[in-house]
Chains A and B, each alone.
Chain A
Amino acid sequence: DAGVTQSPTHLIKTRGQHVTLRCSPISGHKSVSWYQQVLGQGPQFIFQYYEKEERGRGNFPDRFSARQFPNYSSELNVNALLLGDSALYLCASSRGQGIGNTIYFGEGSWLTVV
């Protein structure tokens, strides 16, 4: 079975632009989460969606938004990009919520803002 897949793998954007990152969870997984990993640091939680509803939001500005589609895939949108948004954006999926639901990560989308 395919793991969590993300696209694009690398992209370069200019300050002030908008970016959309996409994620396909593991087949059968209904929960998708997004994390931001700045170089040299641990991933930071941005959003979690389960059954197409937002179930958790991290401490990120409103420029960050996400949604989950009926097929459980998800996209993360970031508006008005800042240099500080340069990071690896990780998508993770799990079968459901609660104890026993292992979280699996994709390989991420590298975003560089210039």
Chain B
Amino acid sequence: QQQVKQSPQSLIVQKGGISIINCAYENTAFDYFPWYQQFPGKGPALLIAIRPDVSEKKEGRFTISFNKSAKQFSLHIMDSQPGDSATYFCAASLRGAQKLVFGQGTRLTINP
């Protein structure tokens, strides 16, 4: 119940395309869903986050779509750029707790 399942494991997208990464969770008590971006040798950096009372949140080229009934959420990266090549992690936490449960990660490669 504490798991967050992320797919795909790896993704290759052409420059300018849309990158889509999906996550699913079981625990309906989760109430905070962040996405982190991690470059090799660096710690995860918060990209964008959403709470279950909204269905979509957009920040620049990054959009989170949230489907509460399906217990799924996804990250869309519009106009993907080579600099977006990194590993992306979805995560979830319980009632504002500081414990994050992470997905397995998606290695995104943007081809120029």
Contact = CB atoms under 8 A, between A and B. Distances in A.
A42 B105 contact: yes
Contacts of B31: 99
Contacts of B45: 105
Interface residues of A, number: 30
Contacts of B100: 33, 35, 43, 45, 103
A42 B43 CA distance: 11
B60 interface: no
Interface stretch (B12-20, B62-70, B75-83, B91-99): B91-99
A41 B105 contact: yes
A61 interface: no
B105 A104 contact: no
A101 B99 CA distance: 12
B7 interface: no
A99 B96 contact: yes
Given A33-B98, A101-B96, A42 B46 contact: no
Nearest to A96: B98
